[in-house]
Copies of this chain bind each other. A is one copy, B any other.
Amino acid sequence: MDQLVIAGRPFDSRLLVGTGKFSSNQDMVAAMEQSGSEIVTVALRRVDIDNPDDSILSHIDTDRYLLLPNTSGARDAEEAVRLARLARAAGCLPWIKLEVTPDPYYLLPDPIETFKAAQTLVKEGFIVLPYMPADPVLAKRLEEIGTATVMPLGAPIGTNRGIRTRDLIAIIIEQANIPVIVDAGLGAPSHAAEAMEMGADAVLVNTALADTPNPGAMAQAFRKGVEAGREAYLAGLGSQRDKAEASSPLTGFLRNEQ
C-alpha cells in the first residue's frame, strides 16, 4: 500500500481537512466523512478543549480522525507556543499544526517566528507540522531542526487560486526528506491533483469545502482529485512536448490506395 507516513504514523488518506468556516456542524461532518480524510485540523482559538461538549470537538470522532490542533490566530512565536502547550495540557496528542500569521489581512505565515516557534516546540517533544511560505531554504531548515512535515502555501488562504508558487513547491518537493503537504489556496480538485502529480505527499483543504453549497459532494470530489494525482504520479506522467505526436500514427494506406 502507498501510505503517507508522518512521524512514524501511517495514513491511507493524503487529504487533510480543516474545520473552519462551515455554515453548520452537519456540513463540517459531511465534508470530513466524504473526504476520506484521517487528519482534521481545529483552531485552538475556536474550541474549548477542556470541554467534551464543545460544539466542534463533540462532532469529531477521534477514533476515526487524528485531531490536529492548529495555532491559527497566533501573531508570533510566543503566542503559538502558548497555544500548543495549552492543547497538550488539555490532553491533546502532541501533534500541532503551527501557524504564525501576523498580518490579519492575507494571513501569510511569518518565516522568522514560525522557525523560532518550531525550534521550541520540537525541543518540547511536539510533532510539528508548520504552515510556511513556499520557501525552499526555510523548508530545508525546518526539516533540519526536526519538524515532521513542511506545509508550504499554494496561494494565500481562502483565495481558491491553486498552486501559484509552483516553481518553488517543486524545489521543496525535490529537496525534502519529510512529507510535503501543500496547504492553502487550493480551490478545486484539479489544484489538489496538480499538487499530487508534482510529487507532494498530501494536501490540506478547507475553504474550498466550506464555501460551497454542497460540502460533502465537494469533499468527495477532492478525495478523487487527490487520489487521481497520486496515482498518476506513481504510474509515471509523460513529459510535456512542444510538438504534436499523433495518437494514430500514419500508416500510409490512405495515401497508397489513391
Contact = CB atoms under 8 A, between A and B. Distances in A.
A227 interface: yes
Interface residues of A, number: 96
Contacts of A231: 189, 217-218, 220-221, 224
A166 B167 contact: no
A193 B195 CA distance: 13
Contacts of A230: 221
Contacts of A18: 247-248
A98 interface: no
A73 B231 CA distance: 33
Interface stretch (A58-66, A88-96, A102-110, A121-129): A102-110
A113 to B, nearest CB: 9
Can you list the 8 inter-chain pairs with the closest CB atoms, starting with the nearest? Answer: A158-B245, A20-B247, A43-B248, A189-B228, A190-B193, A224-B228, A72-B248, A221-B231
